[in-house]
Amino acid sequence: MSRFLRNQGWVAGLFALLIFLFVVTKLIQPGYGSGDFGSLARAVLPYAFAVAAQTVVVIAGGIDLSVAAMMALTSVTAASMMNGASEEYALFVVPFVLAMGLALGALNGILIVVTRVPDIVVTLAMLFVLQGAALLVLEAPGGAAAEWLKASVVGTVPIPGLPDWADAWVPKALVLLVVCLCIVWI
């Protein structure tokens, strides 16, 4: 642990500064609380998924320009499939779009490895293909996520053992983000 702190002490310092700023802000502005962190976590969540996907590619020595377009296509596909659908059908949609994203990413990888075309060219071409596909799926803004899916991201989870007055709640979006980042880490 001391070796970690010696090498990554600045990270611990940033967390200490974050906690200090939270406490000071809570003392100055009593209405400040986990709701603000929840809003921030929900706003950051889509970008964090894109960054996690891109990080794996960059660590492997490549670049992927199609991540955002892939997220757009899977999002509009999910929204159009869930629009007015029953909850049982909506439960099928999430694994379907996750598998769709995985298949598209694998297709990128296969095209890069098998054809030996540079990754920037393959992913740039895939970006345009996926943007076009997203426009074909949903030409105008519309569609919506299922209510149970929204509820899984919106709200907070209490921290056991701490009193309610401590405002000790963790945003669900933050929990989901940490779980996904741990999966990417593995």
pLDDT band with cut points at 50, 70 and 90 for residue 103:
very high
Residue with tokens 């943007």: 131
Of 21-25, 66-70, 124-128, 176-180, give the range with the top mean pLDDT. Answer: 124-128
Higher pLDDT, 179 or 125: 125
Q: Once rounded to an integer, what is the mean pLDDT over residues 44-71?
A: 85
Which single residue is written with the structure tokens 């802000």?
25
Distances (CA, A) of 106 to 24, 64, 146, 150, 171: 47, 12, 28, 28, 32
Angle among Cα 77, 81, 82 to the nearest 5 degrees reads 115
Q: pLDDT tens, 67-91?
A: 889 988 998 888 888 877 677 777 7
Mean pLDDT of the chain: 79
Per DSSP, the residues of 74-143 read HHHHHHHHHTT--HHHHHHHHHHHHHHHHHHHHHHHHHHHHH---HHHHHHHHHHHHHHHHHHH-SSS--
User: What residues contact 132, with CB distance under 8 A and at least 6 apart?
Assistant: none
Q: State percent of the chain over pLDDT 70.
A: 76
